[in-house]
Amino acid sequence: MGVTKKVLQEGDGQTYPKQGDQLTMHYTGTLTDGGKQFDSSVSRGKPFQFVIGIGQVIQGWDEGVIQMSLGEKAILNISSDYGYGARGAPGAIPPNADLTFEVELLAIGNNKAPGFNDGSSGLCQIM
């Protein structure tokens, strides 16, 4: 299946991430089967930063998020082969689990969505 995207809130429709851009996002991840939440930057109150298109995140994010415009909020439905696959994520995601993420693209590099103030010190980064 891969990844499908359902838009919840339109972004600016003009500013899209490119491979190698640093993105700042909020997300909540749930298991598609049963809806159990396994992770959320929203719950922690700290947006998540990563570089798109270089394998820092699951394939479903690399392929789904790059289709979003700045400020967009969407649901990404990700099949297990584009998520954590047969290995799962011990303690959080069972093997072969399909995933659902509610994601919001807050910034592309220094270009921030309207109303987003990063506060700099409260970011969760993967580098």
User: Is residue 39 annotated as a catalytic residue, yes or no?
Assistant: yes
User: Is residue 16 annotated as a catalytic residue, yes or no?
Assistant: no
User: Is residue 84 annotated as a catalytic residue, yes or no?
Assistant: yes
User: Is residue 27 annotated as a catalytic residue, yes or no?
Assistant: yes
- Set 58, 78, 93, 108: catalytic member: 58
List all residues 6 or more positions away from 91 whose beta carbon is below 8 Å from its beta carbon: none
55: left (phi over 0), alpha (psi -120 to 50) or beta: left
- Set 12, 16, 21, 39: catalytic member: 39
Gap between the Cα atoms of 53 and 69, Å rounded: 15
- Set 12, 38, 81, 118: catalytic member: 38
- Set 48, 50, 82, 101: catalytic member: 101
What are the residue numbers of the active site? Answer: 27, 38-39, 58, 84, 101
